[in-house]
Structure 1
């Protein structure tokens, strides 16, 4: 009798093992998970924000989000999430596909980058399942730690993704800064102490086509994190540049081949052709009144020493004693010159340059000796906040009435400078100044 019991128990155990093995290796089904709320309705991108991609970068086809991969950019949820279990399915169309799942992400990209500060779950063919921080975010790996790169990375204990063309499932659980990722039914990656614990959920475009579907979330109780653990919120900024074209800009015939849109960046060689000087600048089609403008820029050429004038506290140039018409200069590294025009006014030019004075200077008003002294002085940056030549910088420009405030790389350099006579509304322009310059991450929020 005892022998028969042991045989029956063994048969049952063997059966359970076979069932478990079958379930572990069974293909991922398209059926909805038993719990959670759908983040994607299968029909359109309601609830999602195309942050910095072209209109056709993210499309819905047959219940699937189809990403072309161009330009590099991201699609994110329209609200933040903290503790949760997230399920989604994804597939690459061709071998070598690359993408990522962002979580605890900022609303906008970091300076000079196509992506936000976030934690990423990798969707790369050769490195699927790894977890790491990007653009200033961080974590502590718990599985197969890799610290060879610029950021610590938790790598998957085994590769479980299927070949291109087949669907894979990720189940991501994040709670109080601890994360685990299951790939096709098995937890393979763990990490702790994520630098952010609340933020947006995003999907990454990175040069290859990728598809997503069955995106669901089950929220867990909040832990009421402190502000420093919460990502940058959505403040209502709208992109002025789709990353691949000049839709929304007056791209004139003389601009062709000179003002070029490529992979999320505007490249200008400084050689636009037009008899009219202002037709060499790149102007928006729309006009704006009061607004906050975000613009990333850099001067990409190799700097060289050139003579630079010296600006006095009152806005005048220092002139030679024996020749009052000639400026005093000193050698300084120079990588070129450009600027941003506000409300259609070439006088309201925020300088982008290599001068000791620093970028953000409002040149047309600072040099106008008919302006009151206090107006001219207010147009001089209180500090040079430029990053080293060749690196990306970020302007945050606030225009209210005839007053403008300029924040450069997080430092306020111009505070409510008055610009008498500036139009109430007008377009915005990226300036031609004969030198190469690059722009990206152009966002605007109109103020009431």
Structure 2
């Protein structure tokens, strides 16, 4: 009986550990920017992210006359990241330009310096190009058996379009598992590659000049 009891405890322990690994973590609490810091081309890095960006109606609202980003304080290795976004078309909101261009970066190494834009991989959010890979600061990935060329900013085009009309909410999903990267948009796989040169890092939300809203920034760790 004792042996059976011990086996049961061990089984329950591993089930609990697996459930924890699969638990979805909210990186944005829909109240404030706790867990993030901001970087702007004028102010540089600020640990008080509210100095650059704001939270309103459970959304992160990114706008203003200067480009910048929000960076997660935590780093992640194997994960599934889910982010919802939409373009903010309110003409009264301050903007740097009218080019609908932004992105979600991931696997930004903890040691990389804060610049526009740092090392890592970007899920491109751009009118007519959403879903493209952008490899920044020498980052590489194998796509269809060919390694991308290292460079400051290298684009690999999506192989499917799935973005919703401007003003509607979109859901992007990024899966990173032992160097294999998959990008999905609104339920459709839009890009994929293997043997990523970066396998662990932080999450970054970009503001490149056109107002954009983010919500439901969640991550699920995997083994």
TM-score calculated relative to the size of structure 1: 0.38
Deviations 1:7-29 (A, max 9, x none): xxxxxxxxxxxxxxxxxxxxxxx
Query: What is the deviation of 1:145?
Result: 9.3
Query: What is the deviation of 1:133?
Result: 1.2
Give the gaps of 5 or more residues in structure 2: 1-21, 44-49, 90-97
Give 1:294-305 correspondences, 5 Å limit.
none
Q: Quick one: distance in 2 between partners of 1:166 and 1:145? A: 35
Q: Quick one: distance in 1 between partners of 2:56 and 2:144? A: 38
Indicate how the Cα distance of structure 1 residues 69 and 144 shifts in structure 2: closer, same or farther if over 3 A, else same: farther
Alignment match of 2:59 (pick from 51, 60, 64) = 64
Alignment match of 2:39 (pick from 42, 51, 54) = 51
1:51 match: secondary structure: strand
1:97 aligns with 2:100: yes
**Structure 1 or 2: more strand by fraction:** 2
Q: Quick one: distance in 2 between partners of 1:69 and 1:201? A: 21
Q: Quick one: distance in 1 between partners of 2:218 and 2:126? A: 21
Q: Quick one: distance in 2 between partners of 1:146 and 1:82? A: 21
Q: Answer whether contact 2:136 2:152 (CA < 8 A) is retained.
A: no
Moved more, 154-163 or 40-49: 154-163
Which residue of structure 1 aligns with residue 195 of structure 2? 193
Q: Whose RCO is larger (CA < 8 A, sep 6+)?
A: 2
Query: What is the deviation of 1:115?
Result: 2.0
Q: Quick one: distance in 2 between partners of 1:136 and 1:145? A: 12
Query: What is the deviation of 1:201?
Result: 0.6
Which residue of structure 2 aligns with residue 160 of structure 1? 162
Give 1:154-303 correspondences, 5 Å limit.
154-221=156-223
Q: Answer whether contact 2:138 2:152 (CA < 8 A) is retained.
A: no
Indicate how the Cα distance of structure 1 residues 43 and 120 shifts in structure 2: closer, same or farther if over 3 A, else same: same
Query: What is the deviation of 1:57?
Result: 2.7
Q: Answer whether contact 1:143 1:157 (CA < 8 A) is retained.
A: no
| Equivalences, count | 186
Indicate how the Cα distance of structure 1 residues 108 and 52 shifts in structure 2: closer, same or farther if over 3 A, else same: farther
Q: Quick one: distance in 1 between partners of 2:131 and 2:30? A: 25
Superposition RMSD in Å: 2.7
Indicate how the Cα distance of structure 1 residues 107 and 146 shifts in structure 2: closer, same or farther if over 3 A, else same: closer
Query: What is the deviation of 1:138?
Result: 2.0
Give the gaps of 5 or more residues in structure 1: 1-33, 222-448
Indicate how the Cα distance of structure 1 residues 123 and 108 shifts in structure 2: closer, same or farther if over 3 A, else same: farther
Which residue of structure 1 aligns with residue 27 of structure 2? 39
Q: Quick one: distance in 1 between partners of 2:68 and 2:112? A: 9
Q: Quick one: distance in 1 between partners of 2:36 and 2:138? A: 24
Q: Answer whether contact 2:105 2:206 (CA < 8 A) is retained.
A: yes
Indicate how the Cα distance of structure 1 residues 163 and 193 shifts in structure 2: closer, same or farther if over 3 A, else same: same
Q: Answer whether contact 2:119 2:138 (CA < 8 A) is retained.
A: yes
Indicate how the Cα distance of structure 1 residues 166 and 96 shifts in structure 2: closer, same or farther if over 3 A, else same: farther
Query: What is the deviation of 1:152?
Result: 4.7
Query: What is the deviation of 1:204?
Result: 0.9
Which residue of structure 2 aligns with residue 115 of structure 1? 117
TM-score calculated relative to the size of structure 2: 0.74
Larger radius of gyration: 1
